[in-house]
Amino acid sequence: MSSQFRYLLTYEQMVSGLLNSLPEDEAAARAVGGDYERFGVLEHALLRGNGLAPDSCVVDAGCGSGRLATQLARYPGLRYIGTDVVPALLDYARRKVGRADFRFEPVDRIILPVPDGEADFVVFFSVFTHLLAEESYVYLAESLRALRPGGKVIFSFLEFAVAQTWPVFEGNVEWVRSRSMAGHLNVFLHRADLRLWARRLGFSVVGFHDGDARFITVDEEAATAAMPMGNYALGQSVCVLQKPLPGESTAEEAPPRQRGRAAMETQRARDRAERQAARAARRRKPAE
């Protein structure tokens, strides 16, 4: 086993250190990466772009201090279940959101506390970025169970192909060299692997989005005074998977000639073409 894991704080230790040294609101924001309102608005807008309805059931795994829940609280009929490993963050989220019907539940293992086929959305924002690949895979299997047919799982991830995330990897390298204590693990995933996971689990791949692409449209409903309408990048790449409807084919059912090494090379070429097209479009588009 890698000895490097000795130089990681637990998430609970990191959050406790923040709460003991900073005002509560600032600590709660930093615990989920900062820019509390900005990322809450972007996550809300991303769900709206994928079909969020006022009466949707949303499972927010790794909800932290409630930045998404705060934005979703405007929908009286929406059902929300947020989970996290740090009770102090859940307590803050519960108080911040002020919705007695929103559930905030502590978890200490890979589980989604909802019945089979209950959820319209299962989301993981800045969660798979800090888990082992095997843990993320198990969470996706849990998501398939929890989703209704046609429901979607949306998650953010780090990938080497997006240039702005390279400093994160450089930070990982420095952490290994210096053996200093780190607040969390940073894990990179590859789209080809995620497509393979989707096939193995039985998801359909809706799409991928580069972390530096302005693919999130903040409309009038999602906008706030601090986050006006416009198109924005999330910073991390995003994958959207869907649980097929009865009778629909899944990624696992691709014809044999599309499987194997040739299929992987073809998909990698498509991914490169998608990224190049997106970058070309951004260069043509005036700044927001």
* Tens digit of pLDDT at every position of the chain (288 positions): 788 887 777 888 888 999 999 999 999 998 888 888 999 999 999 999 999 999 999 999 999 999 999 999 999 999 999 999 999 999 999 999 999 999 999 999 999 999 999 999 999 999 999 999 999 999 999 999 999 999 999 999 999 999 999 999 999 999 899 988 776 789 999 999 999 999 999 999 999 999 999 999 999 999 999 999 999 999 999 999 999 998 887 754 344 444 445 555 555 665 666 666 656 655 655 444
Q: Is residue 288 part of a domain?
A: no
Q: Is residue 46 part of a domain?
A: yes
pLDDT at 252: 44
How far is it, in rounded angstroms, from Cα 201 to Cα 6? 33
The domain tally of the chain equals 1
Beta bridge pairs of residue 82 = 60, 104
Q: Is residue 287 part of a domain?
A: no
Q: Is residue 274 part of a domain?
A: no
pTM: 0.84
How far is it, in rounded angstroms, from Cα 225 to Cα 248? 42
**Residues 240/154, Cβ–Cβ less than 8 Å:** yes
> Please, what's the b/e burial string for 90-123 (b: 16 or more CB within 10 A of its CB; e: otherwise)?
bebbbebbebeebbbeeeeeeebebeeebbbbbb
How far is it, in rounded angstroms, from Cα 218 to Cα 199? 31
In terms of Cβ atoms closer than 10 Å to its own Cβ (0-12, 13-18, 19+), residue 36 is buried
Q: What is the largest CA-CA distance in the chain?
A: 58
Q: Is residue 209 part of a domain?
A: yes
**What is the domain range of residue 67?**
3-252
pLDDT at 255: 41
pLDDT at 59: 98
pLDDT at 284: 57
Q: Is residue 266 part of a domain?
A: no
How far is it, in rounded angstroms, from Cα 105 to Cα 93? 11
pLDDT at 259: 42
pLDDT at 279: 63
How far is it, in rounded angstroms, from Cα 161 to Cα 208? 12
Q: Is residue 281 part of a domain?
A: no
Dihedral sign computed on CA atoms, order 83, 109, 28, 130: negative
CATH number of 168's domain: 3.40.50.150
How far is it, in rounded angstroms, from Cα 13 to Cα 54? 36
Q: Is residue 60 part of a domain?
A: yes
**Residues 63/72, Cβ–Cβ less than 8 Å:** no
Per DSSP, 287 falls in state P
How far is it, in rounded angstroms, from Cα 235 to Cα 108? 28
